[in-house]
């Protein structure tokens, strides 16, 4: 495998990395629910998953599991 013959200076590495910038996340206001969310991402509101103003997943409330036989509350 090719390896550098001499060490690269710190300045060369810094010049190369000048274009790697952190960007702030873009938040949007959902017209349907009025909630803020990350753009181009689905988001949960009151047990429903919304994407582009439409319900994608409607999560029904989970009922409690019945107690197993032989278990008693004491």
Collect the ranges in the chain with pLDDT lower than 50: none
Instruction: For the chain, give every domain's residue range.
Output: 26-60
pLDDT value of residue 70: 64
Three-state secondary structure string covering 14-51: HHHHHHCCCCCCCEEECCCCCCEEECCCCEEECCEEEE
Cβ distance 36 to 44 under 8 Å? Answer: no
The answer to whether the pTM exceeds 0.75 is no
pLDDT value of residue 11: 93
């Amino acid at each position: 495998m090719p390896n550098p013959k001499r060490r690269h200076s710190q300045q060369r590495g810094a010049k190369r990395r000048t274009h790697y910038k952190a960007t702030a996340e873009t938040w949007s206001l959902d017209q349907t629910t009025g909630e803020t969310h990350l753009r181009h991402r689905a988001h949960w509101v009151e047990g429903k998953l919304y994407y582009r103003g439409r319900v994608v997943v409607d999560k029904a409330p989970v009922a409690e599991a019945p107690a197993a036989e032989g278990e008693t509350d004491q």
